[in-house]
Amino acid sequence: IMAKESKDNATIIESMGTVVRECTDGKIDILVNPMFDVQYAFLQIRGKSIGEEIDYFLLCGKCGHKSMTTTNVNEFVLQKQLGHTNVIKLDDSTTVTMRYPTFAHFVKLYSDTDDENDVYEVVADCITTLVTDEEVTHVKPEDKKGISEFVDNLLPSQFEKLENFFTTIPVLQYTKEYACEACQEMNRIRVDGINNFFE
């Protein structure tokens, strides 16, 4: 309730993680599991605790009319984008393998610091393997500084490929089509934001 009332993304994310960690006795590790796993667990916990129906408003894209609707938590599914891969070829001699950002990464990205370095740190932390013509490096914690320097020195076109990995990661979402009650305009809404789970 406090997270919902705060309307602060960082507080909401941290609250979600706390609920999942406490309600699973730590079996879901919020520092290791991908964010979409934590979201799925949170929805299931929410469904069992206060009900499987989520009530929220839909805003018409044409006239701005608000319509109340209800969605069942079980209608949220993990959507994968065509062509998405975690193996990224940066150039003819360099390939990286990525892991999905964890709950902890999202906390860092949504923090109030608004520090651009946070983005680079998350990208570097998600690299698990670096393959060049000379060697294969399975990234360990002690390699963090070297990987951070590697990310800092990427060309814009190379960094864009890594950004694409993050913008196309699987998303837990629900898609709804409806006719506006006021103007009858057909709307297609995707519900996938963290805030929606706190409605």
pLDDT of residue 193: 55
This prediction has a pTM of 0.78
Q: What is the pLDDT of residue 189?
A: 87
| Interval 62-74: pLDDT, tens | 999 999 988 899 9
Across 22-31, 111-120, 131-140, 154-163, least confident range: 111-120
Region 47-60: mean pLDDT is: 89
pLDDT at site 199: 45
Residue-wise pLDDT for 144-196, tens only, equals: 899 999 999 999 999 999 999 998 999 888 888 999 999 999 999 888 755 55
pLDDT at res. 15: 83
Three-class secondary structure assignment of the chain: CHHHHHCCHHHHHHHHHHHHHHHCCCCCCCCCCEHHHHHHHHHHHHHHHHCCEEEEEEECCCCCCEEEEEEEHHHCEEECCCCCCCEEEEECCEEEEECCCEHHHHHHHCCCCCCHHHHHHHHHHCEEEEECCCCEEECCHHHHHHHHHHHHCCCHHHHHHHHHHHHCCCEEEEEEEEECCCCCCEEEEEECCHHHHHC
